[in-house]
């Protein structure tokens, strides 16, 4: 692992373009172990990582494509965004989307191009490793917070090893389909996916960066 923690945090980005290069299982296992060192309430350590590569991953993505092409309706088991979306948050969402589409040369009115790009979520963006993240349905809301800390640990551990990754929240839109294709235990809910692999330095979608809010927008300090 190279660089300081602050450098690692600032370097990390969502990678959606990958080289055609496999990732050693031992390396992925170590990333999972590091992710599990994240804190959790009462040390419950909620969430599971179902790691797929090769035929296991291609079978899942083929099944997802078939389900979407057949018109399977989206079924979300939990809310990702507020409804309705506040204007300030909607502006952030649009800015991130526009930046990605601009990097890919997809115009604002190119709806087909946007749909094709969005569907790449269900191909794990062509990554050699796909991770399906689940949580026990019986967990309270705090369990999602604990799982989120573990996910951040996963992303940082991947970055520290020179790998690239991105979370795939859209996978939860077809949670029941993923559940069926992987024959997951009934008590597990699909939370998201992760695409993992060696980043392609030539991929334009890896070049853009989203902006972060200024400190004054989200932090207050008292007694200093």
- Identify whether 102 is part of a domain: yes
- Identify whether 220 is part of a domain: no
Whether residue 168 contacts residue 193, with contact meaning beta carbons closer than 8 Å, is answered with: yes
- Identify whether 219 is part of a domain: no
- Identify whether 127 is part of a domain: yes
- Identify whether 64 is part of a domain: yes
SS3 77: coil
Domain CATH for 110: 3.40.109.10
The total domain count for the chain is 1
- Identify whether 147 is part of a domain: yes
| pLDDT tens sequence across 146-156 | 999 999 999 99
pLDDT on residue 1: 45
Q: For residue 192, which of 67, 39, 77 has the smallest C-alpha distance?
A: 77
| pLDDT tens sequence across 79-89 | 888 899 999 99
| pLDDT tens sequence across 95-129 | 999 899 999 999 988 899 999 999 999 999 999 99
| pLDDT tens sequence across 46-72 | 999 999 999 999 999 999 999 999 999
pLDDT at 2 over 70: no
| Structural domain that includes position 189 | 15-207
| Main-chain dihedrals φ then ψ at residue 72, nearest 5 degrees | -60, 125
- Identify whether 221 is part of a domain: no
- Identify whether 6 is part of a domain: no
Q: How much of the chain exceeds pLDDT 70, in percent?
A: 99
């Amino acid at each position: 692992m190279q660089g300081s923690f602050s450098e690692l945090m600032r370097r990390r980005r969502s990678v959606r373009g990958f080289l055609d290069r496999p990732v050693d299982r031992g390396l992925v296992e170590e990333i999972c172990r590091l992710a599990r060192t994240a804190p959790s309430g009462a040390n419950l350590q909620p969430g599971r990582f179902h790691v797929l590569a090769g035929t296991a991953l291609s079978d899942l993505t083929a099944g997802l494509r078939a389900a979407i092409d057949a018109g399977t309706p989206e079924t979300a088991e939990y809310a990702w965004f507020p409804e309705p979306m506040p204007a300030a948050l909607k502006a952030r969402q649009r800015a991130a989307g526009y930046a990605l589409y601009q990097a890919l040369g997809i115009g604002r009115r190119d709806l087909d191009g946007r749909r094709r790009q969005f569907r790449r979520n269900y191909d794990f963006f062509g990554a050699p490793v796909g991770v399906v993240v689940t949580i026990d349905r019986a967990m309270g809301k705090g369990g999602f917070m604990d799982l989120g800390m573990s996910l951040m640990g996963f992303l940082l551990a991947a970055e520290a090893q020179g790998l690239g990754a991105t979370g795939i929240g859209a996978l939860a839109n077809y949670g029941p389909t993923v559940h069926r294709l992987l024959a997951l235990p009934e008590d597990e809910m699909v939370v998201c996916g992760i695409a993992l692999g060696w980043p392609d330095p030539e991929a334009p979608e890896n070049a853009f960066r989203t902006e972060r809010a200024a400190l004054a927008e989200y932090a207050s300090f008292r007694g200093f």
